[in-house]
Amino acid sequence: MAIINARSPYFVSITDANISYSTLEIYIYSGAKTATVTAEYNLQKSKIGTSTKVSFEISELIRDYLDVTFDGNYDTTAAYEGSAKWVKTIIKAFNSVGTQVGSTVTETNIALDGYSYFEEGSSFTMSDKSLFKSDGDIFLPKFGDSNIAIYTENNPTVLLLDSAGATVDTSTFATSVNSDEQIKYVSLYPELITNLGFDDSSDWNLRAGDIIEKGQLYFGGATGGRFPTTFTPTTGTNYILNFTITESISGNFSVFPGDGGASIISNVSEVGDYSVQYTQTSTLENKVVFFSTLGFDGAMDNVSVKEVYDVASISVTDDNGTTKENVKQVEECKFKPHKITFINKNGVLDDMYFFKKSSNSMTIKRESYNANTIKADNTYSINQHNKIDFNITANSTVKLSSGFLNESTNEIFKQLLLSERVWITRTFENSELVLPINIKTSSISYKTSLNDRLVEYSIDFDDSYESINNIR
């Protein structure tokens, strides 16, 4: 089975010595590969001159049915079935009197919103490779995460390896007949273990005065520990704990890995997001405990615990061999890294981070007219606008700096700038939102360690929406 890169030309052809014209049926659909569906297109084309071959270029027809969306979830089922479609083609040759000559050619392939480079030739496919990430080292923030697209046709096995080459996680995928199973995503680091929500008070050990309301835990000022009853970590394992203090009235609390472990974070009282790595060492009680010595009165939300992997590389072995990419962890102390997700050359979601300085700006456009404010008695108010603004629109731009990388990332930046769909993950009021953006930068000069010593890029992005909501 081939992969149709629908952003580049894809040809379907038939050859016969007696050919006069050809017909082509195109079926574009989701679900099972063998499903019975109706043809979306029925085409006919005559041969040119004395040629014995008739060709159809069908990529643009296919793209009308591809719609890659992203809301932070990398699941490729149901809501994301638009990212991959089966394309079944049935092509026949006929002579000048309308009699079929030769054999009917039927093919069913998977179509993605990818493309090929000119140098790769006509109707290029990547069916011999299962790692669908753009080539180059993977740079992640310390404790950051990235999702890697895996093509499942060739029965791949994905290994996450530590710096010593030992396997820390394994994922296996089998060939599937379903379109939404052709691309799967593997989370690199860390893996989400649990999201400790506040939907039911029975999931938490609470103190006097504590309540769970509107999806948050409200501390009642009592002394003692609160801990989730649904989370049991493993002693000796490294974790990262995230939580948000949404309201702080008085007091503070500390966090412990069990009742007997040393504090992993102390005197928490300020409103904001908290993130801390710890090792579960306590054997007295394997829990993460929020303990208040003097009593804390406030509210907490967005609690999650993730297992920290020491991932140094990802290795994908399939029926055609092994592909490997390095994973580099970047510890950024000053700036908050920004995560960008885009559709790469292979037509799948790809992540990259910008680690250094970011700057925001806004462009405002307006129209105006001079209003007549004079009254019948020939007076006017000095408080009334004489010049009226209307049709005010605003669009925000963010400039992101990558930080120092290596030249293996040049291909990633190339594919980013060639992408038609790009998203940024932003934090608003203690929650993450995935928002669409457009690339404003229109040129790039590739850097190398030989010529430039350090490889760093700055890219401008525009919000793909206006600041004032005008969606009607």
Residue 268, helix vs strand vs coil: strand
User: For residues 13 and 54, is the Cβ–Cβ distance under 8 A?
Assistant: yes
Angle among Cα 367, 370, 376 to the nearest 5 degrees reads: 150
Tokens at residue 402, please? 């990558």
User: For residues 212 and 202, is the Cβ–Cβ distance under 8 A?
Assistant: no
Mean pLDDT of 283-305: 88
When pLDDT is cut at 50, 70 and 90, the band that residue 24 belongs to is very high
Give percent of the chain with pLDDT exceeding 70.
97
When pLDDT is cut at 50, 70 and 90, the band that residue 351 belongs to is very high
Mean pLDDT of 61-84: 79
Is residue 81 over pLDDT 50? yes
**What is the CATH topology of the domain spanning 3-120?**
Immunoglobulin-like (2.60.40)
Is residue 203 over pLDDT 80? yes
Is residue 113 over pLDDT 80? yes
* φ/ψ (deg, to 5) at 75: -60, 135
When pLDDT is cut at 50, 70 and 90, the band that residue 335 belongs to is confident
DSSP annotation of 408 reads G
pLDDT of residue 127: 64
| Segments of 125-229 assigned E as strands | 138-141, 147-151, 157-161, 167-172, 183-187, 191-196, 204-205, 211-213, 216-220, 224-228
Q: What is the tens place of the pLDDT at every residue in 402-461? A: 999 998 899 999 999 999 999 999 876 556 789 999 999 998 888 887 887 778 899 999
Q: By 3-state DSSP, what share of the chain in percent is helix, strand and coil, each rounded to 5?
A: 5, 50, 45
Q: Report whether the peptide linkage leading into residue 141 is cis, meaning its omega lies within 30 degrees of zero.
A: no
The DSSP annotation for 50-116 comes to: T-SEEEEE-HHHHHTT-----SS----SGGGGGGEEEEEEEEEEE-TTS-EEEEEEEEEEEEES---
Neighbouring-strand partners of residue 254? 291
Tokens at residue 101, please? 């000559």
Question: How much is the mean pLDDT over the chain?
Answer: 90
When pLDDT is cut at 50, 70 and 90, the band that residue 199 belongs to is confident
pLDDT of residue 12: 95
pLDDT of residue 190: 64
Is residue 78 over pLDDT 50? no
Helix (H) or strand (E) holding 411: helix 410-417
> Taking the model in full, what pTM does it have?
0.82
- The region of weakest confidence among 79-88, 135-144, 209-218, 296-305 is 79-88
Between CA 378 and CA 156 the distance in angstroms is 84
CATH code for residues 194-307? 2.60.120.260
pLDDT of residue 47: 95
Between CA 355 and CA 336 the distance in angstroms is 7
When pLDDT is cut at 50, 70 and 90, the band that residue 79 belongs to is very low
Angle among Cα 54, 56, 61 to the nearest 5 degrees reads: 165
Between CA 392 and CA 339 the distance in angstroms is 30
- Sequence-distant contacts of 34-40: CB under 8 A, at least 24 apart: 34/177, 35/86, 37/88, 40/65
Is residue 41 over pLDDT 80? yes
Mean pLDDT of 143-169: 90
pLDDT of residue 174: 92
Mean pLDDT of 291-296: 91
Mean pLDDT of 123-147: 83
When pLDDT is cut at 50, 70 and 90, the band that residue 216 belongs to is very high
Q: How many CB atoms lie within 10 A of CB 326?
A: 15
CB under 8 Å to 340, separation ≥6 — which residues? 351, 352, 353, 354, 400, 416, 422, 423, 424, 437, 461
pLDDT of residue 306: 85
Tokens at residue 230, please? 């649904």
